[in-house]
Copies of this chain bind each other. A is one copy, B any other.
Amino acid sequence: MLKLYHAEPVANSMKVLIPLHEKGLDFESVYVDLHKFEQHEPWFLDINPEGQVPVLDHNGFIVTHSTIINEYLEDTFPENPLRPGDIHERARMRYWNKFIDEHVMNHVSMHGWHRMVRRVAQALDKDEFEKMLERIPLKEQRDKWRTVAGSSFTEEQLAEATRKVSIAIDMFEKQLGQTKYLACNSFTLADINAYSHCGMMAERMFPELASRDKTPNFLAWVDRVRRHPGVQKALAGPDHTNPALRTFSGEAT
């Protein structure tokens, strides 16, 4: 039995929803409402003490962290592979995954927190906010909430994050001028990772970096990824975010 605890189809949740759909696996979807901070509730912390989605439960075996979950799915369900059989392509896939995990995700995310989560934090009253904070297990997460509830990230921090996103988009553009997908000519976990954390929101969030003129290969790849049936199915999942706050998932910038 496969069960996925996840939030909206964007970022890390999206990154695991896509392979589950694309591989045609039957799974139970458990929506965790981040707007109600369900990820910090005791029932969820029993499953993942870090208080983070997504989490995969496979016959009682718990896997956390989206990159690890996706490799686990490939190890466990090798049919309809999203990990290349060729060892060179596989190494390139892992190179991109590592790059996205360590040098892209947090920088796009910082802008998301600054533009979107900040408004959520500032809408909470002081008591509510402190109560919510107390329940967050990871200090790094508590720090981010405090930052956006206060004066938010500095201009310097945001500029540095933009610089990192810019480097990433340039690297994607260059690679996608050479191969149809990031690691090779077939769709892999690297594309799913790059799309979920950067591709799906880049043109909207960073129009100065990603545009049809400037990065045609990158945006043609975004379209190509979006057309995959598993991506379409994942995108059709529930989105409970206030539309005005859909910096990541919707129309907001």
The answer, yes or no, to whether A180 is at the interface (CB within 8 Å) is no
Contacts of A94 in B (CB 8 A): 67-68, 71-72
Number of A residues with CB within 8 Å of any CB on chain B:
21
Complex Cα spacing A90 to B64, Å: 13
Q: Interface majority SS on A: helix, strand, loop or mixed?
A: helix
A131 at the interface (CB under 8 A from B): no
Nearest-Cβ distance from residue A22 to partner chain B, whole angstroms: 20
Residue of B nearest to A90 (CB): B75
Q: Return A143 CB to nearest CB of chain B, in Å.
A: 10
Measured CB to CB, the nearest residue on chain B to A62 is B91
What string of 1s and 0s marks CB contacts (under 8 Å) between A86-101 and chain B?
0110110011001001
Query: What are the 10 tightest A-B residue pairs by CB atom distance, in nearest-first order?
Result: A75-B87, A72-B91, A68-B94, A63-B91, A68-B95, A76-B87, A61-B88, A68-B91, A71-B94, A65-B98
Extra contacts, 10 of them, besides A61-B88, A76-B87, A101-B102 (Cβ < 8 A), are A63-B91, A65-B98, A67-B98, A68-B94, A68-B95, A71-B90, A71-B91, A72-B87, A75-B91, A98-B101
A residues at B contact (CB < 8 Å): 61, 63-65, 67-68, 71-72, 75-76, 87-88, 90-91, 94-95, 98, 101-102, 139, 163
